[in-house]
Chains A and B, each alone.
Chain A
């Protein structure tokens, strides 16, 4: 971090590789019902694709993708999505985080409602884990210069 130099080969390789890692992360989150995967693993993959750009390109290039001040609200949004899925089911007359009362459109059985409820909280976990890992990297890379 002290000495910065620009290498177009490293930046081009990272830019080539990063979208595929991000696409695989989204696949792992949304296909977690049928294969090994889920919110934690997909969030870690999304964070790795963003941190790859940050390592290769430096602070000026990575600011174009996700800004540094934007990670903390995104982590809070992830936690709030999880909590809201539990609290809405309380408002509709069920237990906390028991998804059989969630107001999804259509005529669904309680098992199918639990299917969609699990999908909602997996997305919340994925957003939160991605934002928090990127946030830890940002503050560690910037805190090396001062504290």
Chain B
């Protein structure tokens, strides 16, 4: 059983390293996610955020604009998840009255 786990782990690592050889170089400006147009000729989201963030929200920090304006419903969902995690801690560790 233990050897089967070792074989599975080594095979998974080999598969990931084999897959990573197809990735573009790290930091290459010609990477597809850094272009202005994708291969289906639509606007790439990151390039639009860089170009229009200051005009849309008057804020220099682009990460704040993406977090609070463009993807604000996503951030609202994350905050509800954090709130639910706190409530779960409260409910698990509450002292139950012995009947």
Contact = CB atoms under 8 A, between A and B. Distances in A.
A and B touch in the complex (CB under 8 A): yes
B83 A82 contact: no
A interface secondary structure, majority: helix
A36 B86 CA distance: 26
Given A72-B90, A99-B69, A143-B93, A118 B59 contact: yes
Interface string B63-91: 11101110011011001101101110110
B69 A82 contact: no
B60 interface: yes
A96 interface: yes
A72 B58 CA distance: 34
Contact of B57 (A96, A115, A140): A115
Given A97-B73, A115-B57, A38 B64 contact: yes
Interface in A104-146: 109, 111-112, 114-115, 117-118, 121-122, 124-125, 128-129, 131-132, 135-136, 139-140, 142-143, 146
A89 to B, nearest CB: 11
B56 interface: yes
